[in-house]
Amino acid sequence: MINKRDFLKWGFITGGAALISGGVQGIRSASSQTPPACPPDIPAVSPPTTPFVHALPMPPVLQPVPPAQLDPSPVPGNHQRYSEYPPIHYYEIRVREALHSFHPDLPLTKIWGYNGIFPGPTITGRYGAPFLIRIHNELPPDHVGFGIPQIITHMHNFHTAWESDGNPNIGFVNFGEFRDHHYCGKYAGDDEREALGTLWYHDHRKDFTAPNAYRGLAGFVLFFDHKDTGNEQDPNPQALKLPSGQYDVPLVFADKTFDAAGQLVFDQFSFDGFLGDKITVNGAIQPFLKVARRKYRFRLLDGGPSRFYEFFLSDGKSFELIATDGNLLPGPITVESARVAVAQRRDIVIDFSQYQIGDRVFLENRLEQVDGRGPTGTILQHGTQVLRFDVDLEAADSPPLPLSMRSLPPINITASTPRRTFTFERTQGAWAINGQFYNPDAPVATIPQGVPEVWTLRNAGGGWSHPIHIHFEEFQILLRNGQTPEPEEIGRHDVVELGPNDEVQIYIQFRDFTGRYVMHCHNTVHEDHAMMVRFDIVP
């Protein structure tokens, strides 16, 4: 197994520019030191592209396959709960290199994709319906450039036994191999209040999550149950009747940079973070979406690697926030913007009945960010228009949004509740937690199964922001910098944004499964450069 230190040493010896691109790209350092000069043949910006000339792509829904198609058959003993939750559905995904069009003004570009597409196919499921996915690695083993053709897939943040979680240090899949991931499809703690709706899956290979996901290894997972049913006409009295079908639109945002030949580039050697100068939506640069005069549900995902977003409608109109990190809120919240850190999700509902046929409105990112440190804190008056909505037809509307959606589970804190503190900091030019770089062989905590805990997550400062992700369980924010959280943060989360010098207290409880899991910064560049810890859940 090659590690990052050896890989980078090898890269410099053999000509490190090959690792930066299918062409070449230098990225300005965000540290306080003077950045090295870029070679004169490195483009300062990507080639120009005409905005809003192509339609928003929609990834296909992954279809189940007959179990007999999986040869050899899955081995139940490889999965902790396979016998208790035998799969009802089986799926197969092949990770391939393919050509992709990010924009008509650019040539086709090599990507890595689940089934050869970016985003990967959307996986849909229902609670109470366990499933298994076989993921094959068909990437070129002789690959040259950034990234490594060795994978492990994480379904973020499904309630999954550890051997199928996509642990970044276990079970790498090489060319010609496959790995079976088994998902129980159960509520955490058997509590329907713990249901997740908007999830995603991505490559999580230790040391190479950032470049591998940047190349295209990411896709959506949409999960439903008897309340969030995926059918706005569901006669079930418990159904929330949220916008569904073609009016339920997943949107993954990911910024990219292209060389003069129109090929993806990435700085494999930056420890700070990577910002592209082209923001893609579902793999397209500045697309448009034709919408009807009715309500739409949009599932916003920040696919990284390092950019944070705050989305506004260009005309200043408000919309409804209904879910954070895949968890429906107790009720809709009217907002004028939705802030999304790397790996976070925000489900919003926009009512286009307030517009007329022929109107156009833009989704804008107004959050200023100039380097890998994170947002500057400035909300721009006019931001980057990333998606245009074209109101062009009439359609029957979905029912009004319910006032009550999904209640929060109780918080049970006593004098004996275990408490832990984790400090996220920069050291020796890289990233550490509690002063230590990631060591996959040693857990920093051994956590009793089922025991509620209070964790303090502290940013040591330096002007850096860190989106912190905890695998396996969601948490509720108790305090942010000593204050009760704002309404947008009252729900359940699996990622929390730590701005410079922030301190957040969270309530978390690890149930149902034991095993090895991780917590890390989801600025994937910081994650790859050691801002991650292992924790073990024990009986």
Which one of 378, 393, 408 terminates a domain?
A: 393
- Together in a domain, 70 and 104: yes
pLDDT digits (tens, 9 = 90+) for 227-258: 999 999 999 999 999 999 999 999 999 999 99
In a domain, 471, yes or no: yes
Residues whose CB falls within 8 Å of the CB of residue 341, separated by 6 or more in sequence, listed in order:
302, 308, 465, 467, 495, 497, 522
CA distance linking residue 180 with residue 166, whole number of Å:
11
- Res 333: pLDDT: 98
- Together in a domain, 281 and 184: no
In a domain, 7, yes or no: no
Q: Residues of 307-338 as b/e, b for ≥16 C-beta within 10 angstroms?
A: bbbbbbbbeeeebbbbbbbbbbbeebbebebb
In a domain, 26, yes or no: yes
- Together in a domain, 482 and 440: yes
- Together in a domain, 210 and 132: yes
- Together in a domain, 346 and 481: no
- Together in a domain, 58 and 143: yes
- Together in a domain, 62 and 145: yes
Q: Domain range for residue 325?
A: 245-393
- Res 2: pLDDT: 45
Cα–Cα nearest to 476, from 392, 408, 384: 408
- Together in a domain, 288 and 370: yes
CATH number at residue 155: 2.60.40.420
Helix (H) / strand (E) element for 214: namely: helix 209-214
- Together in a domain, 73 and 209: yes
CA distance linking residue 479 with residue 487, whole number of Å:
12
Split into its structural domains, the chain has a count of 3
- Res 44: pLDDT: 60
- Any bridge partners for residue 457, and if so which? 422, 504
In a domain, 488, yes or no: yes
- Together in a domain, 321 and 267: yes
Please count the other Cβ atoms lying within 10 Å of the Cβ belonging to residue 213: 23
Cα–Cα nearest to 343, from 377, 300, 380, 375: 300
- Together in a domain, 309 and 264: yes
In a domain, 456, yes or no: yes
- Together in a domain, 217 and 272: no
Residue ranges, the chain, pLDDT below 50: 1-42
Which one of 166, 190, 224 terminates a domain?
A: 224
Yes or no: say if 496 and 459 are a contact pair by the CB < 8 Å rule: no
Cis peptide before 157 (omega within 30 of 0): yes
Q: Could you tell me whether strands 503-509 and 452-459 are parallel, antiparallel, or unpaired per DSSP bridges? A: antiparallel
In a domain, 332, yes or no: yes
- Res 5: pLDDT: 43
CA distance linking residue 161 with residue 125, whole number of Å:
17
In a domain, 265, yes or no: yes
Which one of 343, 359, 393 terminates a domain?
A: 393
Q: Among all chains, which residue has been given the structure tokens 């859940």?
A: 537
In a domain, 411, yes or no: no
